[in-house]
Amino acid sequence: MASISRSHGLIHLGLDVHKDSISVALLHPGSDAADVERIFHDEASVRRLIARLGDPRRIRACYEAGPTGYELHRLLASIGVRCEVIAPSLIPKAAGERIKTDRRDARRLARLHRAGELTAIRVPTVAEEAVRDLCRARDDAVADRTRARHRLSKFLLRHGVVWRGGTSWTLAHDRWLHGIRFDEPALQATFRHYLAVLEVRDADLRSIDADLVPWFSTEPFADQVARLAAYRGVDQLGALTLASEVCDFRRFASAQMFMGFCGLVPSEYSSGERTRRGRITKAGNAHIRRQLVESAWAYRHHPGLNRRTRQRQEGLPHDTVTRAWGAQLRLCSRFRRLASRKESGAVVATAIARELAGFLWAEMTA
């Protein structure tokens, strides 16, 4: 790869990007030592840098995916520079390397990029990223509501107020909460504040759900949402989450690769005659993994189609409905078999989630 780059006169840029600065390593054709400079992180500075280097078509740039997002990639692409966003966890690192600086990171990126040793991620479009962020905002709202529920329930438990009327957080439980009174004014004020926070969190979640509904039937997600939602345990919200996080299922050459992207494959350390496998890697997309595990719990029951699933399957191709039913037969049976041997339900749900990921990949690449 290096010899090809030199023969074509390509300039490789390794960019170590931060909020206010970019460390730029310039690796010129025929050179093994990169020159490093520091520029301010704004559009004008980036444009001046590229203009100084000449023809943008001769430039190959890369930077690590991180909190600064994809705006730099889009800016460089608009100028005509071919830029790749690199998966940080897959960057080769020397075992004995103990010094980390922005300059060293930029040089390493430029050198490895020219050698073809880096793994690029898929950069979503602006529309895809916007919907993905809205789905992630919903995840945050669910987490906030869960914390608010825990604070309220633990406060009540400390003062001997326990709900014994069945499942919590139902309408009956809500009526019970609003009927609680404390004699001490300070306790009543504390309870009122905790309850008010929970009501705000519920309202936030309902608002985000309403904002997501139009995207169920809007391109580029409409077809993916309809097909994914045909599967048991995957409602339209879950399907939109999967579609916005993955975007293009065909970029994974096999179901195993998609499972690895979800972090649902077992870790492994094998050498010689010894094979050792451990817990799942959790090295992939946490949002997809959470959704798949949540969906997997639906397969603990016997196969069947409820009213909502039938409604989601209306108008879909016969092949999609058939594949969804085949997946249900397989996963429901496997859930029960694993549950009879495993003590932990979470382990069983994770195993089913891994297989569900394979079925969904097969559906979206059929």
Mean pLDDT across the stretch 215-239? 96
- 111 by DSSP, 3-state: which? helix
Integer CA distances (angstroms), 242 to 106, 110, 161, 228, 248, in order: 33, 33, 40, 8, 10
Q: Which residue has the tokens 């705006």?
A: 71
Please determine, for residue 4, whether its predicted confidence score (pLDDT) is greater than 50: no
pLDDT tens-digit series, residues 246-303: 999 999 999 999 999 999 998 878 777 777 878 888 888 999 999 999 999 999 999 9
Please determine, for residue 9, whether its predicted confidence score (pLDDT) is greater than 50: yes
**21-27 sheet: strands from edge to edge:** 35-40, 21-27, 11-17, 59-64, 82-86
pLDDT at residue 7, as a whole number: 37
Pairwise CA distance, residues 238 & 137, whole Å = 14
Q: Which residue has the tokens 């559009």?
A: 43
Mean pLDDT across the stretch 166-194? 96
Please determine, for residue 143, whether its predicted confidence score (pLDDT) is greater than 70: yes
Give this prediction's pTM. Answer: 0.88
- 304 by DSSP, 3-state: which? coil
Other CB atoms closer than 10 Å to residue 321's CB: what's the count? 16
pLDDT tens-digit series, residues 103-142: 999 999 999 999 999 999 999 999 999 999 999 999 999 9
Alpha helices in 29-180 (DSSP H): 43-53, 71-79, 102-115, 126-158, 171-178
Out of 169-173, 270-274, 341-345, pick the least confident.
Answer: 270-274
Q: Which residue has the tokens 């309870």?
A: 191
Helices 185-212 and 236-246: angle between axes, nearest 10 degrees? 70
pLDDT at residue 6, as a whole number: 46
Nearest to residue 21, comparing CAs of 37, 46, 36, 38? 38
302-315 b/e with 16+ CB inside 10 Å = b?
eeeeeeebeebbee
What are the structure tokens assigned to 138, written together? Answer: 């919903």
* 173-180 CB contacts, 8 Å cutoff, 24+ apart: 177/152, 180/156
Please determine, for residue 37, whether its predicted confidence score (pLDDT) is greater than 70: yes
pLDDT tens-digit series, residues 292-335: 999 999 999 999 999 999 999 999 999 999 999 999 999 999 99
pLDDT at residue 5, as a whole number: 41
pLDDT at residue 8, as a whole number: 61
